[in-house]
Structure formats: C-alpha cells, structure tokens
Amino acid sequence: MKMDIKGHPKKPLERDELPLAALVEAFRAQTREEDPGLAKYLDDLDAAGQQELGGVLGRFDQHGRGELEPGQRLLARRILGRLHRPGTASLEITNRILDYLDLNRNALIEENELELGVEVFELFARADSDNDTLSELELKMLYAVLRHIDTNDNGALDANERDRLRQGLDNAEAFLAQQKATNPLLKELLAGR
C-alpha cells in the first residue's frame, strides 16, 4: 500500500479491502472494559451493523494496523457515544455524515475534522429531543443539513461550505431554525415523520 507523508493511504482502500472484522472485534473487546454501556449495544449488532461499525472505526485507524490505539479508541467513542442506542441504521448514517466531515477525503478522521464533527453532533443531539445523544431522526436531520450545505453536490464540504457550517454553529438555535424553514431536504424529512 502506498502511503503519503503523514502515513495515510494515498488512495483510500475500498471497504472490503480493510481489516474491518479484526478492528471491530478488538474495539468491542476493549470497549467492554472501557465503556460497558456502549459495548452492550455494539455486541448486539448484526453482521451489517458490524460492517458499518468497522466503517466508522476504520476512519480512526490512522496507521492502518487494524486495531485502534487508546487515544484513537477515545476519539471514536466521542462520536459513537453520541449515538442513541447505536444500531445498523444509525451507524450507516454516521458513516455518511463522516464522509462529509472528512475534509481532505482521505477516509480518515483527523483531529481538526473530529472537532467539527463533535460540534455538529452536539448541536443535532438536541435538534428533536432534550438529551445529549442523537436519535436516528436527528442523524438524518444532520445528514440533510450537510447535503443542503454541500452546494456543489460533491459529497464533501469545501472551505466555503465549512465556513457556512461554522458560522451556523456560532448561533446554533437560529441556524437550526433557519435550516428547518429553508432546507427542502430537512422539510421533506420532518414532514414524513
């Protein structure tokens, strides 16, 4: 595998080429000790859910070793811990959201990308509830907002789109209200519930 200067794959591997099964099993085993509440949900995942979990975890495996270091596990849990009862559907949407937040499109979530991710996850954790976790609906709302902000429809947020998102986060309540009023993707989602 060819690597860039930072040790990241030059061309991200396809999901079926990644050592996801070993990564998931190691993460689940370590999470049983480090975060038993989260481990309970991860242990209940079916094969498709484990594949989606592997997709999330693979973004934190900065060296492609198939196992996360303690700091990488902590970062992954900052995202996974925001999910309300993580399941296959919520992990699939989380992977789509992380695609948008992978600013340099290298299939890895780096510190600056994680910071933005945690901010938007925190905002949307209260978009349709009064708790600190994201329901499946709140994840879908976040995904709809990211898709709407992605004005060139390339599946990633460029600098201007990130700036627009960051400005929205400065006044989160007004941003969310504005999105609910003007975002056709979000309106469609909310009308269907």
- Model confidence pLDDT, tens digit, residues 69-85: 898 898 899 889 999 99
In a domain, 52, yes or no: yes
Confidence of residue 95 (pLDDT cuts 50, 70, 90): very high
Q: Are 17 and 23 in contact (CB under 8 A)?
A: no
pLDDT of residue 11: 55
In a domain, 4, yes or no: no
In a domain, 9, yes or no: no
Instruction: Indicate the number of domains in the chain.
Output: 1
In a domain, 5, yes or no: no
* Each residue's pLDDT tens digit, 149-190: 999 998 888 889 988 998 888 888 899 899 999 999 999 999
* Each residue's pLDDT tens digit, 45-65: 999 999 999 999 998 888 777
Q: How far apart are CA 9 and CA 84, in angstroms?
A: 32
Share of the chain above pLDDT 90, in %: 47
Domain that holds residue 79: 15-191
Please give the mean pLDDT across all residues of the chain: 86
In a domain, 10, yes or no: no
33 vs 14, more confident: 33
Confidence of residue 127 (pLDDT cuts 50, 70, 90): confident
In a domain, 1, yes or no: no
Q: Name the pTM for this structure.
A: 0.85
Pick from 149, 150, 158, 80: which is nearest to 117 by CA?
80
In a domain, 2, yes or no: no
